[in-house]
Copies of this chain bind each other. A is one copy, B any other.
Amino acid sequence: MKLYHLIFILMATLNANAQKTQPNIARYTKVPAGYLMVLRQGDDILKEIENLAVAENIPSATFTGMGFVNITFGFFDFKTKKYAPKDFKDMELASLNGSIAWQKGKPSIHAHGVVTGKDFMAYGGHILNGSVSTGSVEIMVTVHDKKLERILEQPLGANVLCVGNCME
């Protein structure tokens, strides 16, 4: 066994430990306006926001953020009512804007983002899926005091956040 094999195994072990110990690190803290989240390498962004909504019983919220991500955007086709997806790997998350509401008893996250790579060109849209890449994602969650629902509106075929007297 060569020296570089040993070094490789040692580094892989350190990496694995870093990954393993990540669950023990807090992902958010309470602040006057709501919660400040810091997600870590490998975290599922939408899932972590859903977990926060459930764990802290958040009635509704608006969030902003930024970080370093793998992300899937989808562009909504209003004829087929489906999203055409596209993946972007290892990109700066230049902006994140979204909201937390509820739909049929479950948290409903709506989030838009803009990402940039090595050439600084920007891409973005509706976030279908995203995880933290080699870095972190910081999210400021401003909590509201009213439980708000997202409702699938027809003939629009889109989920719309209801702030009063909506029709289903």
Interface, chain A (partner B; CB < 8 A): 11, 14-15, 18, 21, 24-29, 31-33, 36-38, 40-41, 60, 62, 64-66, 68, 73, 75-76, 78, 84, 86, 88, 92-99, 110-114, 116-118, 120-126, 134-136, 138, 140, 142-146, 148, 153-156, 158, 160-167
Main secondary structure of the interface of A (DSSP, over half): strand
What's the Cα separation between A29 and B70 when bound, in Å?
Answer: 34
Nearest CB in chain B: distance from A108 CB, A: 12
For A62, the chain B residues whose CB sits under 8 A away are 36, 64, 138, 140
- Per CB-CB distance, the 10 closest pairs between chain A and chain B, nearest first, are A26-B164, A122-B122, A62-B140, A94-B124, A31-B144, A66-B112, A29-B163, A66-B97, A116-B125, A92-B125
